Each structure stands twice: as structure tokens, then as C-alpha cells.
Chains A and B, each alone.
Chain A
Amino acid sequence: MSNTTDMVRLRDVSKSFEEGGHPRPVLANLDLRAETGQILALLGRSGSGKSTLLNLISGMDLPDLGEVVVNGTPVHALDERSRTLFRRREVGFVFQFFNLIPTLTVLENLLLPMELNLRTDTERAHALLSRVGLADRAGSFPDRLSGGEQQRIAIARSLAHDPPLLLADEPTGNLDADTGEQIVDLLFGAVREHGKTLLMVTHSHELARRADRALTLRDGALVDAFS
């Protein structure tokens, strides 16, 4: 566990992708700091590298250059297996398209990250379901739920194994405005309640204003969104 107040620290990070045989730079000498307990919104147009940034922070991808330190762990220096285990313990995900496991029930979706961390707690799972208002859907499969309901389950799942860091990639992108509002209330509320750090990618400036801090990814670097 880190002794500093930074949950996430990116230093001089660069990343590019091969497209048609040519490298396309996505992130260039990027610096980022997110303090523990902070809600940080990331804005930017499509293709600006927001999801790439989340992938680097979660350990799903490696930077070409630079350092990625999360909760004191130098993620950029870990091998693939260690990054996977790091992600398992330290990160909770909320995706735009929910990405629940379709062949597990709602309850089982929550239990899965707990089981991966060898800390199965059915009571906690039920409690989280109640917190998101879906206690009566524990036995349902995801394809029986509406988009909003699935996203609420996804939020509960992201908290199930008590990770210090939550990453949300356009959590309201696939929802109508009202439902999206509810989801954000739920997400922010849960984050505050449990003292988590949240990095959230969004297109919505209104949503970004609700965060503690908002940054825009432009030309591979981060700038304050509303300065």
C-alpha cells in the first residue's frame, strides 16, 4: 500500500499503435496524477486515447515509454501474469457496454471477482445488490435485464472485491439521459461511500463537471477541461 496520497501516477507516458504498417501515436509524454478518493473525469473526442489510458492504468496494456504507478505498484514494470493479478486485486471496471458474463446469474457475476480473490462473501454480494436496488434479480441472467439494470449490476460487480481504484469507460454511453443520471448518482455515491478513487472516461461535459477534477485528452496529452 502506498504512503503517498496519489492513487494513480503516470509519468512521461507514450503509446502508439500500428495501423496499416505505420505507427499512430495516441499518447505522448503524458503525465497524470489522481489522488486517493478523488473522482477524475477524462474527456476527449473519439479516438483521442481515453480508453487506451484506462488500459494502461489497469495493466491491460503496456506503455511504450514512461511509468505507470497505481497504489504504489509500478504496473509498467510487471510481467503479464503479475499485471493480471494486480488488476484482479486493485481495479474494478465499469464498461460502456456493461460486459457482464452472460452465462452467470446476476449474483454469480458479483461473486466472480470475490472468488478470484479467494474471498467469497455471499452476504456482501447480496448487500451490494440491495445497494443498487436489484436484490430481487439475483437469480436472473443478464440478458433478462434492461441496460440500466445491467449497468447497476456492473457497478456492484466493480465494488464486490473492494478494490481501491475504479475505472469507468463511458458508463452512461449506452443509456438514455435519465437512466444515465441515475447510474452516475449511484456510481458517485458508492465511490464516496467506500472511499474509492474513480477515473471515468466520458463524452459528457455535464457529467465531467460533477467530478472533483476534469481533464481533456488532446493531442496525446492531458489538459484541464474547464480552464
Chain B
Amino acid sequence: MTRLLTLASFRHLLRHPLQLLLAVLGISLGVAVVVAVDLANESARRSFLESSELVSGTATHTLIRAGATLPEDLYRGLRVELGLRRSAPIVEGYVAASLRPESSLRLIGVDPFAEFEFRDGDLANAVWSADLGTLMAQPGAVLISAGLAATLGVGIGDSIDVITGSGVRPVHVAGLIESENDTPQMDQFILSDISTAQELLGLIGQLSRIDFWIPADQETRWSERMSGQLPKGAELQAIGTRNQATLRLAGSFQLNLTAMSLLALVVGMFLIYNTMTFSVVQRRPLLGRLRALGVTRNQLMRVILLEALLLGVAGTALGLLTGIVLGHALLGLVSRTVGDLYYDLSVVEFSVPAVSILKAIALGTLATLAAAWIPAREAARAPAGAVLQRSDLEQRTRRMLPRLAFAGALTLLLATLVLLLSGRSLVLGFSGLFMLILGCALLTPATLTLMASPVQTASTRSFGFLGRMASRDITRHLSRTGVATAALMVAVATGIGVGVMVDSFRGSVAIWLGERLNADLYLTPVRFDGGTHDLTLEPAMLDRVRAVEGVRSVGSYRRLPLDLLEWPTQLIVLKPTPEIQTAYRFKAARAEDPWAAFESGTGLMVSEPLAYRHGLELNDLMNLPTPAGTLALPITGIFYDYGSEHGMVLIHESIYRRYWPDPAMTSLGIYGDTSDLAALTQRIETAVSDLQSVSITPSRAIREQSMAIFDRTFTITNVLRALAMLVAFVGVLSALMAMLLDRSREFAVLRAIGLTPRELGGLMSLETLYLGASAGLLAIPTGLMLAWVLIFVINRRAFGWTMQFQVDPSIVFQAVVLAVIAALLAGLYPAWRMARTPPSVVLRSE
């Protein structure tokens, strides 16, 4: 490429610094959003893995039993009789320091000698470096990190009161965990001897799991040798596989976040397309001269793409820096949601891996080039003679209208086919969504033309000759107004679509919560935070509560994790009272009483997400893994549930007691015959105070808390939506300003023939008002279609939920108003500039 050709082109960009800045800003915002979400997701993932590695160290496999513990003597049998020397038992659970009850701590009890022989890791090394005599001999002796000690204000030899499932117990700091890495992850652990942990967690004679070091090529052999000794339900798992399965829990959530961020980038790409198109349009005379001088089409195309590449690089660099800052801010929201809903994520460290940076660079520059491709081709394809005439451009644009409209309709048709025929594919679902957006954007110029006549009539009637001029200008400059309107329409439609989806989801969840939480009070073990830790109630709790004055009936629930069909789900055990039965609304159920088979223990029920994910239907036989072997029961009902996207299996308490060696309950639902719930709560607290620490919460409070978690979860979505709107605003500002400034000469002529600055300002404002209003109005059907796809395709495929489609008119109204405001603001600077500049100055220049 010739140096002067490149120079001629770049100097044009530098002569329009505001346009340049807005283009770079648009790209950088889009990239920043993608980077922020990627870093937040990646940080959460890495923190989980780091935390897991701190504990597992060099262990390769772990033996666990779903929903139950392992007998202590199993370890002896495996180690001594089978000869699995490289093994170590673990007892673990969650407690909290009474000084900081809101933050849970992971208590890990180990066998120091087994750890020394077998495991190389930070925590194992910490144990072996400690005063083993004190750790093993002194009851309640624990090790904590220096960071945690500083937070709690304790030192070696001090005592800490910890809250356990069975009450508050003292522990003694026997030493500090010293680690080379000094990561904040260490602050979440309390280490102890295995017997101390068993006492604190009420697991005497039990183990949470047994870790092994087994070479990969010997896994099958050892698994077969072990199988004869293992209790029913116990399973040897590779630690890496287990971690990946845990990470998959939050997969759909994180994928949706990523998709939202990509939507922001798509809006950014639209703006790049906008900017490059306007830049090409502005330079048509220049491009025509270059073509006349013998510059080939390919040379012109390469120059435009090179410009776009440099804009992309600058925008990406800025976006990367902004994204890192934004990611830091988003991390709290993401990790809180993941911790609330999916897996334990107590400590999250913000990390910026090189691969994320490379991904951002590739995405930003490729997105820019992709968006600039069409304008570059447009610049190159115009015939050398014709580019010297402005009117020819508009004629060509009008000639292209039918083709554009056809392309738009075809794209919409393809989008429909993709959405209908793509089964359960989430990726194809998103592809269909993006095609929908593109199709509507392509139809925008033709729709503007169709709207022209009625708009012109109304505008003339309302605003006289200014109104007539303003409305005519929209179609007269369609090569520019079409693109600007489409870009604004896409952004506003995205806002409407996401807003309606979130609102519909919220409405469905609110209704469901009202139905499901129909007890007056709920009694649970004390929880330290909103986490997913499994805590149980003392067996005597149920009878004790039933005997309290004012209690009409009590429903008991047991909730525990269940690995089903290689998918982590939840097992819910209950004994359904009539009140509990009314809390479940069925999507599909046996025509006769669906609870009959359930109560007789000859059937079970599943939640809608579980049924969707595994293609389960009514009467299908389900094989449940239990400690006593596989249990096969038919599905008698599929119920709506928004509590977990991973799904639930409901079985009767009698079945549970038969197959699981566990008499515990997770919570009680209390139905009172008094309206004075505060007094009832007091009486219940008094009645059970000697059993264990419990939390008694009115259902109203749980509903409010749940909606707060919901709103917190969708804060991220709303933040991303706002950012996408910001990207669009910047782009539309850039596009409309460029459009108006490019017509300086035309406006100067109007001033010269007698239009006052005020009237000229009015003309510009009317033009931008019509553009904004057109974009806003066109965004309504597009946004509603988007919402439909998000609710009935994307969310359904990602989470398996059915939601009610609910349109709050205020969402639509706000979006349209935003579009109009954005467009009006965009016209302010050009109007101000034209008012200040004498027309003679503009007309004199070339």
C-alpha cells in the first residue's frame, strides 16, 4: 500500500477528532463489557479451583458417598488390607467464628501422619510444620492462617468460639498456617486433627471422604479392587472431574452473562459499522479523486480496513484497561451470585490471566474488522466517476432498499427456522437471537421510507415548513439516517427485550414463591451466610415444635445433593400435609390424584428444569442412586420450580428412611392457628433452645430475601444492559453528529437564504427527534420479539424454566423516551456550532 494513500486517509480521521474519539469510545465500551464479564467469571472459576487445590494438593482421587458419610473403619480396610498407602481421610464441614457469624469457615480435620506420607499441598505442609503434639493431643486445637488470625484479633494460644450445627464450641489456636503463597484463600480454612473435627461437626466415627493418590492408568484396577469393600452409594471420583462438574453448576449462569456481554459488543460493532460508513460517506469525494487518479478498489479497501484496525486496536487497548476496572467491580456481584446459588465461593481473588487479555485483543480487533468490512467494500465498489456525485449515492441507496428489505425478511425467516429447528442447542439459540436483531436492522431503512408519508403529513401540520423539511430530510439522506436509526433501534430493542425478560422472570418467581412458601414460619439450622452448605436439624426437633401452643401443623423437609444422570441435582424429602400439597403447581401430573402414588411410596416427582434437561416425561422410570442401592420409581408429577436450575427430585419421607441411613431434617414448615407470629416464634424458640441453635423466619421475610437474591443476581444483567445502552448512546451521538456536520454546507445555504439560527436549530432538533422516535417505535416490536426469544428459547434451554410473558408498559415507554433523548442530545452540538458559524465561512470553504 502506498505511504501517501495511507497518510491521506489517516489525516482525514485526525481532522475529525470528535468522531474519532466517539468511535474509539464505542469500541472500547463494547470490549470493556466483554472483558469485565470474562474476568469476573474467570476469577470466580480460578478461585474455586485454587481453593480446591489448596485442600486436595497432589491427591488425584477422592472416595465420597452422595448424601452420606463413610465409616471410619473403611479407611483402615483400604489402606491396610488393600495396601492403598497413599491415602488420607478427611472430615470437613462449615462453622463460623462467633466474632464473624456472617462468614462461614471451612473446618478440615486431617490425619497428620497420613497427610505427611501422601499429600504435598499448602494445607498438608502447614499441618506437618505445626506443633503436632498439641494439635493431636489437645481437644479443640486448630490451625488458622495469619490473615484470619489478624481478622479475628487472636494469636497462638488464644481461644475462638465457633458456631457449629450443635451449638457454640470453643477451639484453641495451636499454630498459624504458614504458606509460601500467602493467598487470601487460606483465610477461609480452620485445620484440626481429625478427631477434633469429628467432635465439632457431630461426625464421630465418620469420614466426609477419603483422598487417594492413584496413577491414571491404575484407576480402573483400584476401583475394581475397592468395590467389594465400599458401602452402597460410595463412589471413587477423579478430583479434576469432580471440580469440573462443580464448575458446570454455574455454567448456564455464566454463559448467559457472557452472551449479554457479547450483545454489548454486537451493539459496539454496529457503531463501528456506523462510524466507518459515515467516514466513507464523508470521504466519497476524496475516494472518488483517488479512484480517478488510479487507486484500485483493493487498495481503497485495504486503507479503510487498516483505519478500522487501528481504531480497533486503540479501542481494544482502552477497553481492556476499562474492562479490568469494571471486572473488579463486577466480581463482587458475580461471586456473590455464584456463592448464593451454585457452589461455595467464600474467597475470590481477582485475576487477569493472559489468555483473557489475548481473547479480548482478538475479539476487539476482529469485531472491528468485521464491522468495517461492508463500509470498506462499499468504498471500494463505487465506480470512480459516480463517487464524485452526492446525489448518486442517495439514488443507489434508494435502489438498494428492496434488496435490503428482502435480505432483512430472509434473515428473519432464517432466524425463525434456526430457533424452531435447533432443538435444545443454546449456541444456536443465541445465533437465532443475533440473526433476529440483524434482520430487524436490515428492515429499518425500508420501514423508515414507508413511514415517511404519514410522518411528513403530521409533521407539516404540526411544525409548518420546518416540519416538512425535517421529515423529508430523513428519506433524502437515507444512506445515513437508515444506519443511525438501525443502530439506535438495536440498542433500544435490546434494552426492551432484556427488561421484559427480567420482569417476566421476576413476576413468575414472585408468584411461585407466594405459592411455594405457604407456611407461616420456616425453621432451619442457623446458617452463616446465604450459602449452600448442608446443615440438619436434631431428630427431636419435629415433635418438640408440634407440641408448641399455636402450631396447627408442621411439614418437615430434607434437602441433600444428589448426583443423577451425571448431573448435580437435589433430593427433596417431605411428608406432604394438605397445605404442602397446595404449594406445588404441576406442569404435568397423573390425571388422578398425583399425590396418591407419592404418598404410598410408589412414585416420585421431579421439577420442570430436571425434566427438561433430561427429556423426562410423566410415568418415565427414574433410577435413583441410594446408599442402599438403586431405587427405581415412576414420575407421577412434574412441578414448576425456580429454586434451582439443576432440578429437584421429590420423594416421600418413608422411602427416604428406608434407603438412606439418615434420620435428619433440613427444615420445618410451621403452620400456625394464630396471627401473632412473633409470639409463636418466641414460644418455639423457647421450646427448642436446648436442642440446637435455629433460625425461625416468617415466610414473608424469606420471600423478600429470595427476591433480594433474585434482584442481586439480575443486577449484573441490568448493569450489562445499561452498558449496552451507553455503548449505543455513544455511537448514535457519533453517527448523528457526523451526519449533521457533514451537511454544514447545506445548512449554511439555508442560513444564507434566511433561516435564523433558532429555526435551523429547530430543524436539526426535529430531524433528530424523528430519528429517535422512529428508532424507539421500531424497537418496540423488535424488543418484544427479543424478549420472547429470551424467555421461551434462551432461558428455557439454559435453565429449563417456563416463564409467564409479562410486559410492563413502563419498560417500553422508558426505552422509547431514552431513544428520543439520545437523538435530541446528539443534535445539540451541531445546532450550536451552526448557530455560531457565519454561513459565509462555510460556503467559502471547499
A positions within 8 Å CB-CB of B = 55, 58, 60-61, 80-81, 84-85, 87-89, 91, 93, 95, 97-104, 108, 111-113, 115-117, 142-143
B292 within 8 A of A: yes
Q: Are B4 and A81 in contact (CB under 8 A)?
A: no
The residue of chain B having its C-beta at the shortest distance from the C-beta of A114 within the complex is B4
Q: Which of B5-13, B158-166, B424-432 faces chain A? A: B5-13
The answer to whether A61 touches B846 (Cβ under 8 A) is: no
**A210–B18 alpha-carbon span in the complex (Å):** 50
Given contacts A112-B2, A143-B845, contact A104 B7 (CB under 8 A): yes
Given known pairs A101-B286, A112-B5, A115-B2, the reply for A60 and B295 (CB within 8 Å) is: no
Contact flag A143-B846 (CB < 8 Å), given A60-B385, A103-B286: yes
| B384 and A84 contact, CB distance less than 8 A | yes
> Apart from A61-B385, A81-B296, A103-B12, what 5 extra A-B contacts exist at CB < 8 Å?
A58-B292, A88-B293, A98-B846, A101-B289, A113-B294
Taking the closest CB of chain B, its distance from the CB of A99, in whole angstroms, is: 5
Assess whether B292 is in contact with A104, with CB atoms less than 8 Å apart.
no
Contacts A101-B286, A143-B845 given; indicate if A87 touches B294 (C-beta within 8 A).
yes
Q: Specify the chain B residue showing the minimal Cβ separation from A161.
A: B294
Task: List 7 tightest A-B contacts by C-beta distance, closest first.
Answer: A88-B294, A103-B11, A60-B385, A60-B384, A115-B2, A99-B289, A55-B385
Establish whether residues B4 and A108, one from each chain, have CB atoms under 8 Å apart when the complex forms.
Answer: yes
A112 to chain B: closest residue by CB: B4
CB distance from B844 to the nearest CB of A (A): 10
A101-B8, A103-B15, A104-B11 known; A84+B286 contact, CB < 8 A: no
Q: For chain B, which range describes its interface: under 10, 10 to 19, 20 to 34, or 35 or more residues?
A: 20 to 34
State the CA gap A104–B4 with chains docked (Å).
Answer: 8
Chain A contacts for B385, CB-based, 8 A: 55, 60-61
Give Cα A58 to B385, complex, Å: 10
Is there a chain A Cβ closer than 8 Å to B297's Cβ?
Answer: yes
Residue pair B297, A80 in contact (C-beta under 8 Å): yes
Quick one: given A61-B385, A102-B846, A143-B846, are A113 and B293 in contact (CB under 8 Å)?
A: yes
Q: Are A93 and B4 neighbours in the complex by a CB distance under 8 Å?
A: no
Residues of A within 8 A of B7 (CB): 103-104, 108
State in angstroms the CA–CA spacing of A117 and B846 once bound together.
28
Enumerate chain A residues within 8 angstroms of B293, measured Cβ to Cβ: 87-88, 93, 112-113, 116
User: B803 at the A/B interface (Cβ < 8 Å)?
Assistant: no
B383 in contact (CB, < 8 A): yes
Q: Which of chain B's residues have a CB closer than 8 A to the CB of A112?
A: 2, 4-5, 8, 293
Closest A residue by C-beta to B845:
A143
Residues in A neighbouring B3, C-beta threshold 8 A: 115
The residue of chain B having its C-beta at the shortest distance from the C-beta of A98 within the complex is: B846
CB distance from A116 to the nearest CB of B (A): 5
* B298: nearest chain-A partner, CB-CB: A81
- Across the interface, which residues of B come within 8 angstroms of A101, CB to CB? 8, 286, 289-290
Docked complex Cα distance between A178 and B264 (Å): 60
Establish whether residues B2 and A99, one from each chain, have CB atoms under 8 Å apart when the complex forms: no
12 contacts between A and B (CB under 8 A): A60-B383, A84-B291, A84-B296, A85-B296, A89-B294, A99-B289, A103-B8, A103-B12, A108-B7, A112-B5, A113-B294, A117-B294
Neighbouring A residues of B297 by C-beta, 8 Å? 80-81, 84
In the complex, what's the smallest C-beta–C-beta distance from B742 to chain A, in angstroms? 14
Measured CA separation A95–B845 after assembly (Å): 17
CA A224 to CA B286, docked complex, whole Å: 36
Identify the B interface with A (CB < 8 A): 2-5, 7-12, 15, 285-286, 288-298, 383-385, 388, 845-846
Per DSSP, chain A at the interface is: helix
Task: With a 10 A CB-CB cut-off, give which of A58, A95, A116 has the most chain B CB atoms.
Answer: A116
Q: Are B292 and A99 interface neighbours, CB within 8 A?
A: yes
A116-B8 in contact (CB<8A): no
Question: Could you tell me the distance in whole angstroms from the C-beta of A93 to the nearest C-beta in chain B?
Answer: 6
> Hey, which chain A residues are within 8 Å of B11, CB to CB?
103-104
Contact (Cβ within 8 A) B2 A116: yes
Most chain A Cβ neighbours within 10 Å, of B15, B294, B383, B846: B294
Min Cβ gap A161→B in Å is 8
Question: Which of B8, B10, B15 gathers the greatest number of chain A CB atoms within 10 Å?
Answer: B8
CB-CB nearest in chain A for B292: A93
Give the distance in Å from the alpha carbon of A80 to the alpha carbon of B292 in the complex.
12
> For residue A55, which residues in chain B have a CB less than 8 angstroms away from its CB?
385
Question: Which residue of A has the minimal Cβ distance to B13?
Answer: A103
> Knowing A102-B846, A103-B15, A143-B845 touch, does A84 contact B294 (C-beta < 8 A)?
yes
Which of chain B's residues has its CB closest to A62's CB?
A: B383
A159 to B2, CA, bound (A): 19
Q: CB distance A61 to B383 under 8 Å? A: yes
Closest to B9 in A: A103
Task: Select from chain A the residue with minimum beta-carbon distance to B296.
Answer: A84
Q: Nearest B residue to A82 by beta-carbon distance?
A: B296
B243 to chain A, nearest CB (A): 57
Q: Kindly list chain B residues whose C-beta atoms are within 8 Å of the C-beta of A84.
A: 291, 294-297, 384
Q: How far, in angstroms, from A9 to B607 measured CA to CA in the complex?
A: 84
Question: Given the complex of chains A and B, what is the CA–CA distance between A195 and B12 in angstroms?
Answer: 36
CB distance from B307 to the nearest CB of A (A): 12
With CB as the reference atom, state the residue of chain A lying closest to B283: A103
CB distance from A78 to the nearest CB of B (A): 13
Could you tell me the distance in whole angstroms from the C-beta of B155 to the nearest C-beta in chain A? 71
Shortest Cβ distance from B3 into A: residue: A115
Chain B residues whose C-beta falls within 8 Å of the C-beta of A113 in the assembled complex: 293-294
- For residue A102, which residues in chain B have a CB less than 8 angstroms away from its CB? 12, 286, 846
How many angstroms from the CA of A85 to the CA of B293 in the assembled complex?
A: 9
Kindly state the separation between the CA atoms of A81 and B297 in the bound complex, as whole angstroms: 8
Write the chain B residue with the least CB distance to A55: B385
Q: In the assembly, what is the distance between CA of A93 and CA of B12, in Å?
A: 23
CB neighbours of A60 from chain B (8 A): 291-292, 383-385
Residues of chain B lying within 8 A (CB to CB) of residue A97: 846
Q: Are A111 and B4 in contact (CB under 8 A)?
A: yes
Question: What's the minimum C-beta distance from B333 to chain A, rounded to whole angstroms?
Answer: 46
A86 to B, closest residue via Cβ: B294
Minimum CB–CB distance for A204 against chain B, Å: 22
Q: Residue of B at shortest CB range from A101?
A: B8
Complex contacts, A95 vs chain B, CB 8 Å: 292
Closest to A90 in B: B294
A80 to B288, CA, bound (A): 15
Once the chains are docked, how many angstroms separate the CA of A112 from the CA of B299? 13
Complex Cα spacing A115 to B5, Å: 9
Residues of A within 8 A of B5 (CB): 112, 115-116
Contacts of B2 in A (CB 8 A): 112, 115-116
Name the residue on B nearest A87 (C-beta).
B294
Whether A85 contacts B286 by the Cβ 8 Å rule is: no
How far does the Cβ of B199 sit from chain A's closest Cβ, in whole Å? 81
CA distance A74 to B288 in the complex (A): 23
Q: Report A-chain residues with C-beta under 8 Å of the C-beta of B384.
A: 60, 84, 87
Minimum C-beta distance from B215 to chain A (A): 64
Shortest distance between the CB of B544 and any CB in chain A (Å): 86
In the complex, what's the smallest C-beta–C-beta distance from B435 to chain A, in angstroms?
33
Question: In the assembly, what is the distance between CA of A210 and CA of B340, in Å?
Answer: 91
Q: In the complex, A60 Cα to B297 Cα: how many Å?
A: 12
Q: How distant is the Cα of A102 from the Cα of B13 in the complex, in angstroms?
A: 12
- Among B4, B15, B291, which residue has the most Cβ atoms of chain A within 10 A? B4
Q: How far is the CB of A191 from chain B (nearest CB, A)?
A: 19
Q: How far is the CA of A206 from the CA of B465 in the complex (A)?
A: 46
What's the nearest-Cβ distance from chain A to residue B460, in Å? 25
Chain B residue, CB-CB nearest to A167: B292
Q: How far is the CB of A60 from chain B (nearest CB, A)?
A: 4
Question: B residues within 8 A CB of A108?
Answer: 4, 7-8
A116 to B8, CA, bound (A): 13
Residue of B nearest to A61 (CB): B385
A199–B296 alpha-carbon span in the complex (Å): 24
- Whole-angstrom distance between the alpha carbons of A61 and B385 in the complex? 7
Output the residue of B2, B285, B383 with the most chain A CB within 10 A: B2
Q: How far is the CA of A117 from the CA of B293 in the complex (A)?
A: 11
